[in-house]
Chains A and B, each alone.
Chain A
Amino acid sequence: METLKTKKMKEVHPMEDVLRMNRIPHIWCPGCGIGLAVTAFAAALEKAKIDLNKVAIVSGIGCTGRVAGYIKLDSFHTTHGRAIAFATGIKVANPDLKVVVFSGDGDLISIGGNHFIHAARRNIDMLVVCVNNFIYAMTGGQVAPTTPLAAYATTCPFGSVEPPINIPYLADSSGAVYVARWTTLHIRRLTNSFIEALDKKGFSVVEVISPCPQYYSRINRLGDGLDMMKFYHDNTEIRHGEDTKNLDIGFQGKIIMGKFIDRERPSYTERFD
């Protein structure tokens, strides 16, 4: 019998060098943006002609935490919140490797927030891709430290009363050398940011605002993935170099995107030389 797997093997996607096609279709819901963040990352690896044997990718736990498992690199699916700690170990033991952390807003900024701050402070040379869908998606849509004020979550049936974290501001004030934010709609610009950040020595953060139609959009009645993409089209503004203090995101408010920080600081491993 022809199974889904044998059928789809007949046609080969050009990204098969970077993706584990035998594990795809992936688990993400229709209209979920995580696949777009992966596409942009894969495109960046290809465009920058990076030796795939010299890159390691680390994820924590969550829907976004699945990314490492789909990318054909040395991949680590670690414990919740600890991706940056694992990545730090990899970088210190193998300073020649490019190390990438690919995880969610809850994983990196909530339970993993302390690792984030101190890796930025020490300027550990890694690229951190934070897929921000404003919610703990995998566990059922609980409130996250990124959930906008007044947005609903399964644990906030009357709307969140907690002021959210502004991720670029946190990264900037902790010492990151490269900070950018894009939405999944702005995929070519996102790809270019990945290329720049991969080339950067030091702690680099790219925040990717991404639709979660299953939890964030449904409980807030924001429609499906395509509705979120249209929202990004109409409600984003590019402001390179904007002061990161001004990058708060309100519920269905305007999203400021761009490259905010690009500076030089000696990285952690360089200090040993």
Chain B
Amino acid sequence: MNLWRKPLDLQDIKVARGEIHIIKDLCKGCGFCVEYCPKDVLEISEEFNTKGYHPPYIKNPDECVECHLCEMLCPEFAIYVTLKEDNNVVKSASEEGGQ
């Protein structure tokens, strides 16, 4: 038996989707954005930036819910997020990130 009611408007629920911008050469590889992204979107790359640090890369671009936590927790102002234009991915629930 299914105890949960399926919302009638499930197909209309829109979850915000974010587009992540990484200014690689500002990054100092601290890993805060990777650790605290609630959706596990980011990962440290193997690549070196011009200062010799490993910036993050976007591992799961479709999972980003535009919570801006990575942007808030970057001490280098090296990552920010904008709302994706085609913002119509349908998902039943989203998790709010944040401390």
Contacts and interface: CB of A to CB of B under 8 A. Distances in A.
Contacts of B19: none
A34 B25 contact: no
B25 A229 contact: no
A39 B74 contact: yes
The DSSP consensus for interface residues of chain B is loop
B23 A13 contact: yes
Interface stretch (A132-140, A184-192, A244-252): A184-192
Interface string A199-218: 00000000000000000000
24 contacts: A4-B50, A11-B23, A19-B77, A25-B25, A25-B51, A25-B76, A26-B76, A30-B29, A31-B75, A32-B75, A33-B75, A35-B74, A35-B77, A36-B72, A36-B73, A36-B75, A39-B72, A191-B72, A224-B30, A225-B30, A225-B75, A226-B32, A226-B35, A229-B35
Contacts of A26: 76
A11 B21 contact: yes
B99 A185 contact: yes
Given A8-B23, A188-B98, A13 B77 contact: yes
Contacts of B21: 11
B57 interface: no
A89 to B, nearest CB: 31
Interface string B19-34: 0010101101111100
A35 B35 contact: no
Interface residues of A, number: 37
A93 interface: no
Interface in A86-117: none
Interface in B1-52: 21, 23, 25-26, 28-32, 35-36, 50-51
Nearest to A16: B77
A7 B55 CA distance: 15
Interface of B: 21, 23, 25-26, 28-32, 35-36, 50-51, 53, 71-78, 80, 98-99
Contacts of B53: 30
Contacts of B50: 4, 7
B58 to A, nearest CB: 14
Contacts, number: 81
B30 A31 contact: yes
A263 B54 CA distance: 47
Contacts of A186: 99
Contacts of A184: 75
Contact of A35 (B51, B76, B99): B76
A190 to B, nearest CB: 9
Contacts of B77: 13, 15, 19, 21, 24, 35, 39
A191 B71 CA distance: 13
Contacts of A14: 71, 80
Contacts of A231: none
B32 A25 contact: no
A187 B26 contact: no
Given A8-B26, A36-B73, A226-B30, A13 B99 contact: no
